[in-house]
Structure 1
Amino acid sequence: MANKPLDMLQQIRRCLVLLQEARSVRQIHRLTGIHRNTVKSYVERFKHSGKTYAELLALPDHDLAELIYPPRHNHQADDRYLYLSGRLQHYADELKRPHVTRQRLWEEYLEQQPHGYRYAQFCLHLDRYIQQHEPTMPQVHHPGDKLQIDFAGDPLRYYDPVAHEWINCPVLVCSLPCSAMFYAEPLTSSRQEHLIPALNSALAYFGGVPRNILSDNMAQVVTKPSRYEPVFTELVEQWALHYRTNMQATRVAKPKDKASVENSVHIAYQQIYAAMRNECHHSLKALKHRVRELLEKANERTMTAYGKSRKERFLELEKEHLAPLPPKHFVYKHQAKAKVKKNYHVILGEDWHQYSVPHAYIGQRVKLIYDDDVVEIFCEYKRIAVHQRAFVRNGYSTIKEHMPESHRNYLLQKGWTPDDFLEKAHEIGPGTEEVVTRFLAAKAFPEQSYDACIGLLRLAKGFGRKRLENACSLALQGSRVTYRIVKTILENNRDKLVLPTEEQAPMLPFHENIRGKHFYN
């Protein structure tokens, strides 16, 4: 009997149902999308069977297929198969030899049988023979050797009461093949920024680090699949280096390479998903908590084949073979690219804060790798600067050694120091001194505010010390003060509108119409 696919049998059964409802060929074509000629051929075969539609529907798939697609008695095909079947073992053995391909074997076959099978049929019979006569070799797993990771095909979900919608959560499953101990966790997404913390949690759950981590060729882990030298993402490489483990990837389209985690996914379906099928959770945190509860039960459940639970086997066989965890878990680091500006700083766009690099790198493109605490700057894999992360928008983080020698010498020659600026400002007045103090305090590195201080003090030459002091005093009444604000006040003569103080107010001569302060008491 021909090996008809299941979807074909489903089409046949659907046609039978519609025919039983007295639908026409045209209606069946419109409802199913099956070509009318195909529907007509089905109807003819149904009639030749001698059975009613109801009787045909009651038949098992195998019997229905035999009835609708009877085996062909083609003597030429039988002769071809008899010849090929006698040489399938030879072809299977030859295929194991280096550089031998199916195409080559088929060409040699045609030399002996010019009217033999075409290439597709030849490969079909050969592959069937190999599957039937070459069973899969059992894999021996050593304790602590490998952790297999994969995402379950089906997500879990929770209901967001704010957005009024269901949120799907991919589920990461990690399995230790030797003991069959596994870990499962629903994530916000399968992206790297959520995958890496989940892997941290998995290793923390097992309490140690295996020698190898095996993944399929998911894009979050592998950038270039290869049977011999797969290329992993830079972030995953950093993660593996932090935990002192080795990354491995399965062969493409070879799920048996990670059979253990595939089995763990099925266990998760049976003992976690099924248990939660009627539950409704309203946050990812609640969903994770429930999964962890069911995960513990699954790992403590006795396995019939061993008479022990996964957790018991893990503690007996595998726990001691895991390497210890590092003192700190791996922190997900963000990455950004930038070009070094002429002021030998780069901008971290997320915070709009500038960090210095050695001035020799002006004009070059660099990579910033950062977390919540530290910003590292690399140029062609060489780390050229490290800064504590600052979140001051439009601020600067400058290391003096990064400045050009001419800049450092210029500062030394001029003798500029914060005390010098404060002394000169004090000579003008308290308002000016306060403005300079704020300028110096606004920058993490005082030298970055020197230009503003110089510009402010130079205003005294163009407008006079008295007007500068008045302008600074007026500017200090606002929420912020800058060089441009003080200059604008002077240019618009707003400093001249400052009301005189009580001591400066002129006294009017006394006369009988003047009311004293006692009048208002």
Structure 2
Amino acid sequence: MRQIRQVLRLAFNDKVSRRVISASLCLHRDTVRDYLVRAAAAKLSWPLPPDLDDAALEDLLFPPVSQRSIRKPQPDWATVHVELKKKGATLQALHAEYLEEYPDGLAYSRYCDAYRKWAKHLKRYMRQTYIAGEKALVDFAGPTMPIYLPETRKERRAQIFVGVLGASNYTFAEALWSQKLPDWIATHTRMFEFFGGVPAVVVCDNLKAGVSKASRTEPEIHATYQNMAAHYATMIIPARPRKPQDKAKAENGVLVVERWILFRLRKRVFTSLDELNAAIRELLIELNNRPFQKLPGSRRSQYESIDRPALKPLPIQHYEYTEFRKVRVGQDGLFELDGCPYSAPWALCRQEVELRVTAATVEILHRGRRVGSHERSRGSQPVIDPQHLSPEHRYVGFWAPDIELKWAADIGEYARSFLKKVLEQVKRKDLGMRAAGAMKRLEKDYGAERLNTACARALEIDADSMSSVRSILRAGLDKKGAESGIQEAAFDHVNVRGPGYYH
């Protein structure tokens, strides 16, 4: 106001031109002209009345814009606020619908300004606009609930999980024994069933059960948590570290559950987790049915009209809890899971593989490809798939006499008979393997035909060791026997006893 008074003094008292006033007071000439026009409209002259202070002078020069006597119809801003949460809704589209009902209503810019002015009366922490069916925000409450176990007569604290749908504030709460991965995954599946559908995004905190590595830009989601999200066709977006405003609805949901559920249950004594969850479910119905203070309806009515139609349907197949672990295959081709050894393909010895573990199976993944699987064992005996072993290890590990006899039968009838005779005398598996291995080396050195003939000769002389067959082959007796057969005298003589004498 001080500069305005100087402009009026110089113009009315000193009769100075606008150009000189502008240069003297460092004001734009248009500003000087505007001041003088307003002063003329207010019929001011110099000197100003002594009782005219700055506030009164401002009211004379800059009077408030007079409101029209007939106000244009105002929309129901609470309804507009709710409609904006629906997918695809914009203020421009809602303004067009408003003009259809009130053709002489507010202009678009005035409409937007009026809505923003109304929205300022809502709670200040409400900085995000949530689309229907888009987000579910989850977190654990700070306070825990005591449960007195009758079998141990000790107190055990239960964790309270809270999930909130962003658009409707529809709230889910459940008591768990821990915040570990199995409980974390199981409560998500029950939350989706409670909602009757799946949101597009789940916003969680950076607890270890859900996020392997917290980061503002590239967080790493736990593989099991990510697998659950893939089953339900949803997406996991962790909040930024130390930024609770990213999951403001979850923070508010925790506060509401603490006030309207946990506080009301503080004097009750619970002896089991199921008993506590039954009490929470009863109060949860009441909580979701409580009417809003500044918005129409309740959490349930908003859920039924906004969120529920927009949620994705639940998958037909129920989710099976699955863990992913990384292990290194030992030099013996085995890896250990929960104290039980399992086999892996022999080509992966000393390499790292990923395990997909369920309650019934153990799948082996290498570079994203499934290379083997086992039924899960609860004991400590090794679980070995014969196909995982190398040919040599498979031969040693699953050796049986029948396999060797089948091989010998391909050599010849005498070879099979002789090997069967040798194996029947052997009492140990390793000795039987040695005998069969020796026979295979003889077949490789002398051929199948000579080996079969040598075994026939060994059977004739009642031999029962592989060294006898080896001696026959080295001395070439199998050839002599094959060429001449049994040599008998062609004449009778007193000194010739004949073959019958020796049998």
TM-score (ref. length: structure 1): 0.51
Q: Which runs of 5+ in 2 are unaligned?
A: 1-123, 407-415, 436-503
Distance in 1 (CA, whole Å) between partners of 2:354 and 2:432 is 39
Q: Which residue of 1 aligns with 2:141?
A: 152
Deviates more, 1:199-208 or 1:307-316: 307-316
Is 1:293 the counterpart of 2:282? The answer is: yes
Alignment of 1:159-308 (within 5 A): 159-308=148-297
Task: Find the structure with the greater CA-based Rg.
Answer: 2
Kept after mapping to 1: 8 A contact 2:401/2:432: no
**1:223 deviation in Å?**
3.0
Distance in 1 (CA, whole Å) between partners of 2:264 and 2:431 is 72
Residues 1:344 and 1:453: Cα distance change in structure 2 (over 3 Å): farther
TM-score (ref. length: structure 2): 0.53
Deviations 1:375-428 (A, max 9, x none): 01233544321222233531423142x2324556889998744998xx99xx99
**1:185 deviation in Å?**
0.7
**1:452 deviation in Å?**
10
Distance in 2 (CA, whole Å) between partners of 1:163 and 1:296 is 32
- Secondary structure (helix, strand or coil) at the match of 1:141 reads coil
Kept after mapping to 1: 8 A contact 2:386/2:394: no
Distance in 1 (CA, whole Å) between partners of 2:282 and 2:250 is 20
Distance in 2 (CA, whole Å) between partners of 1:256 and 1:412 is 62
Of structures 1 and 2, the one with the larger relative CO (CA 8 A, separation 6+) is 2
Identical counterparts, % of pairs: 29
Deviations 1:272-301 (A, max 9, x none): 112212110101121122112221221123
Letter in 2 for 1:249: P
Kept after mapping to 2: 8 A contact 1:346/1:357: yes
- Secondary structure (helix, strand or coil) at the match of 1:170 reads strand
Is 1:356 the counterpart of 2:322? The answer is: no
Kept after mapping to 2: 8 A contact 1:390/1:397: no
Distance in 2 (CA, whole Å) between partners of 1:179 and 1:452 is 78
Distance in 2 (CA, whole Å) between partners of 1:330 and 1:408 is 37
Residues 1:412 and 1:398: Cα distance change in structure 2 (over 3 Å): closer
Residues 1:452 and 1:361: Cα distance change in structure 2 (over 3 Å): farther
**1:165 deviation in Å?**
2.2
Residues 1:162 and 1:322: Cα distance change in structure 2 (over 3 Å): same
Question: What is the aligned residue count?
Answer: 301
Match of 1:403 among 385, 389, 393: 389
Q: Which residue of 2 aligns with 1:454?
A: 429
Residues 1:253 and 1:403: Cα distance change in structure 2 (over 3 Å): closer
Letter in 1 for 2:312: A
Is 1:347 the counterpart of 2:343? The answer is: no
Kept after mapping to 1: 8 A contact 2:327/2:355: yes
**1:308 deviation in Å?**
2.2
Letter in 1 for 2:309: E
Is 1:320 the counterpart of 2:306? The answer is: no
Deviations 1:327-376 (A, max 9, x none): 233333345554324443323233x2x33322111122333331211101
**1:458 deviation in Å?**
8.7
- Secondary structure (helix, strand or coil) at the match of 2:138 reads strand
Letter in 1 for 2:389: M
Q: Which runs of 5+ in 1 are unaligned?
A: 1-134, 434-450, 461-521
Letter in 1 for 2:429: I
Deviates more, 1:141-150 or 1:223-232: 223-232
Kept after mapping to 1: 8 A contact 2:148/2:271: yes
Q: Which residue of 2 aligns with 1:96?
A: none
